[in-house]
């Protein structure tokens, strides 16, 4: 194997790892949603992998179209930049809406007391929350089921910034086999890095005792995703 294809392969693996590590949007949303949604490791895994495939696949498709039709790299990168802005704002909007929903749910789930007076003139104080009584738990289940597909949509919109200019276009000049190889290596490294970080962090976060703040966990998750989106849009992470 010549030095140039080998260098591209090493670069692809390195870029895939660093691309995922340096972008908090690649793991933070999954960690906080797994915590608040009570996702199993299996669900956390398939949601992360699915979103990773959508994330990498959309950029691969765009790169293939650009290469096949001879579209200039500048135009393709401009499209990727636009997609990045859309994805960041979608993450911001999702985080904000989820945070507001979490606050509203926490307020409605606030424990409170009632005084019950019995016929014999004795009484007692009864403490309860409205969530259990009014079956608001179904709202949480619906949100948990919908969240993976919202995240998938956002990740399909989000570009893999280094993939097309640093790997796909240079590899395409050599051969289609080289193009396919570096694309698969980059995608595999990205998704494996995402999954590793998500699973490790999820195991740690699941053990954090929130105590009385537990009912605000959805609000905290939404705020974290909102902050992640703002950081990406502001600092280009």
What are the pLDDT digits (tens) for 78-88? Answer: 999 999 999 99
Task: List Cβ neighbours of 215 (8 Å cut-off, separation of 6 or more).
Answer: 105, 106, 109, 110
According to the model, what pLDDT value does residue 139 have? 55
Domain locations in the chain as residue ranges: 3-110+125-235
Kindly state the DSSP code that residue 122 receives in the 8-state scheme.
-
pLDDT in tens, 145-199: 789 999 999 999 999 989 999 999 998 888 888 899 999 999 999 999 999 999 9
* pTM across the whole model: 0.85
Checking if the pLDDT of 2 tops 80, the result is no
Estimate the crossing angle of helix 176-205 against helix 28-37, to 10 degrees. Answer: 40
Strand partners for 126: 114
d(CA 194, CA 28): 10
Checking if the pLDDT of 133 tops 70, the result is no
pLDDT in tens, 192-223: 999 999 999 999 988 877 777 788 889 999 99
């Amino acid at each position: 194997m010549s030095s140039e294809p080998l260098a591209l392969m090493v670069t692809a693996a390195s870029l895939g790892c660093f691309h995922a590590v340096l972008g908090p949007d690649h793991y933070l949303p999954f960690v906080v949603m797994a915590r608040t949604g009570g996702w199993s490791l299996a669900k956390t895994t398939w949601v992360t992998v699915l979103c990773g495939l959508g994330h990498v696949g959309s950029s691969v498709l765009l790169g293939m179209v650009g290469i096949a039709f001879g579209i200039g790299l500048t135009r393709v990168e401009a499209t990727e930049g636009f997609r990045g802005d859309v994805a960041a704002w979608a993450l911001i909007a999702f985080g904000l809406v989820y945070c507001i929903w979490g606050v509203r749910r926490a307020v409605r789930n606030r424990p409170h007391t009632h005084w019950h007076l019995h016929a014999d003139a004795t009484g007692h104080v009864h403490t309860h929350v409205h969530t259990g009584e009014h079956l608001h738990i179904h709202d949480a289940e619906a949100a948990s089921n919908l969240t993976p597909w919202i995240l998938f949509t956002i990740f399909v919109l989000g570009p893999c910034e280094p993939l097309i200019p640093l790997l796909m276009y240079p590899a395409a000049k050599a051969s289609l086999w080289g193009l396919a190889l570096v694309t698969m290596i980059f995608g595999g490294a990205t998704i494996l890095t995402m999954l590793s970080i998500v699973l490790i962090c999820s195991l740690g976060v699941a053990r954090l005792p929130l105590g009385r703040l537990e009912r605000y966990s959805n609000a905290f998750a939404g705020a974290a995703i909102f902050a992640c989106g703002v950081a990406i849009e502001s600092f280009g992470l």
